[in-house]
Structure 1
Amino acid sequence: MAVNKNKKTGKWDFDGKIYFKGKVIHSYRRSGFATKKEATRAEAIYRDEFNLKKVMLPSLQELVDRFIPFWKTQVKPSTAEQEIKVYNKLIRELGEKDFYDSKVLQTYISECDAKYSKRYVEKIYFSLTRLFKFAILDGIIETSPMVKVYKDARAGEMKKEMNFFEPDQFEKYLSCIEDQRDRAMFSCLYYMGLRKGEMMALQWKDIDFKKNTIRIDKTVITLNRTKSNPATPPKTKNSYRTISMPKQLVHELAAYKDIAKDFSFYSLDAWVFGDEMPVSAETLRRKNKQYIAEANRRGYELPEIRIHDFRHSHASYLINNMSAGFTDFDIAKRLGDTVETLHNVYAHWFKAGDQGIIDFMNSDN
């Protein structure tokens, strides 16, 4: 502890160090006081209000490192993988700030609200909430700073419209693909509505060309995957299913199998779309962008869709054609979802379906 007069400014300063178990845990310096008495009083208040426990709290990186092993015991690997991505983002953006301060967290969430979708902000918000709940359970803190943090409910915000391929658009997309494996791979996504990981996890033994069915009983995750264990059980109990293939997909897969049989690593246990490992998510994204770009170079004017939007495309196509005799339950079962999820996520129509409603209404007047 020391109070000194600054020769350059003529003001009084104080500085010092705080020790814990014989080690310096905090150094401080404040300046600009008019008198020695003011500086002395300010230092006394500073030391009195100093929160030793707060200084000894783990950093965000340390807290996340303690939390993740616990979280992996509570959720599926794919869920943990997504959570880790969020925490890595938080470490980059909040690591140097006092993230135990609710005001700092509120500012951060408000900034996220201005930049990201409602769904993504919710993911960030609840990831922080889970992290501090763990900190309480682990005896690190007594109360969560998140109890004073709110996110914009965006009550009046309309849900962002999904991008998807209509059947004629997918035909144009497919016409740009010469590689037979890629034709089969993207046809599988479009005609079956599989999740990305489900498609990546397919083995030849899962495809029955006699019954024209595909069995879904696993998924691929990208977090710490190894050659010995690249796949895990699927997302939910509803995800276990055996579904029928349309003729278009049977043709594409059969043509690819004739080629794949000559591969050195081919067997019934081999990954349909891969080699010693399933095709990577990055390869899927890159190829999809490549084929959309080629289609638009040819003047097809296709929308930019993500890999998961192939699933949206399949669901939308089925919803739009429910008059053919199948129900929302049949669609949900095929997708490995619940009817409630189907209604919440895929309640949109193709333009042709919407125009059909307008035509009916116009003709009925």
Structure 2
Amino acid sequence: MKFVSIIAAAIFLVSCVTSHNSSQVAAGTAQEQSARTPSATSDLTGTFLGEGLYSNRTTGLRRPAMRIYLDRVQGESNSYHAVLVEYDQLLNMGLPYIAAQKAPALNKVIGYLDKIATRISAYKLIPSQKSGTYQMHNLEVRNGQIVPVLAPSMHLILDPANKESNPLAGATISGNPEGPISFPSESDEQMGSLKNLVDVLNISQYKLAAVIYKKAHLGSSWRGNWNDLEGSYLSEYGRFTDGVLELYSVNGQKRHKFIKTNTTKAKYFTNPKSAAIEGEYLTTEPIPKMYILTSANKVKTASDKEMTGRIGVFLDVFDASAPEAGGHMVTELAHINPQDPEDFMMYYEHPQHLKNVGVEPKK
């Protein structure tokens, strides 16, 4: 992950972004979409930055930055599995992250980074009878499998006039009662100029995200190579001695081990429910890059009820693995509640990719 603090964002953007026109913003967005041009079959695989236009929302950001990750379904020519992420307020993320890197003692004062998203949900996209339109079916866990629900909850509508390399340019997701999600095209995006702190604070979340990704050379990834993802995961980014989750394998069997202690309080997690989770779980991957848990113990627990219906996904929302971005790669593991996109649990990979960190007892 890589973030820009409020002060850093102002200085960085004012000094580096004095006049970004629409083509520059689109280029920045395209760069973090895996630098891929769609084939003649209009492959949508990739990750795309968008904007929620939630005029009917009464709480939270009404125009949050959004991101969708799309992965073609194996054995199906034009269906996709998807993860949809709503970003939290971007300017709130940088300071705790930078403190964790440069001055960890400050985290005890300003807090740790534990919120980069406000909603995460998973879907299967199935082409509808109307060309360029996909039904978005929520995914759920059923009998050890991840399956789509019968009725679609939303629709992805591609722009038939799109001539850009970005296949989602001009697309819209409709059906959300709060409002649509838009994926701006190069022709309708105007950046304007950022000359002072007021400009930075007034910029939309989408435009701010586009600038951050472009200027910091960031990507965004949906990961799925388990061998690379094993190790210790933290309750909050920067709480380096708080390894509350261990991912490992035994004889080829993937496993989760949740560590519950009196040290890690509920407020130290992205979702306070995580504080009560404990025990070992067998981990299966019914869909590539999507995981579900089954208790490794015969005796059922309250943790089982909470975890076994969730869908786990590994995201590097701010992927700084490119050399020009610093070669820094930290993955977030989100366990999604299929019934409630706000009720996801998130754990943060140890920045040094350590294993068996455990939770340091109080001194």
Bigger RCO of structures 1 and 2 (CA < 8 A, at least 6 apart): 2
**TM-score normalised per structure 2:** 0.24
Task: Point out the structure with the larger strand share.
Answer: 2
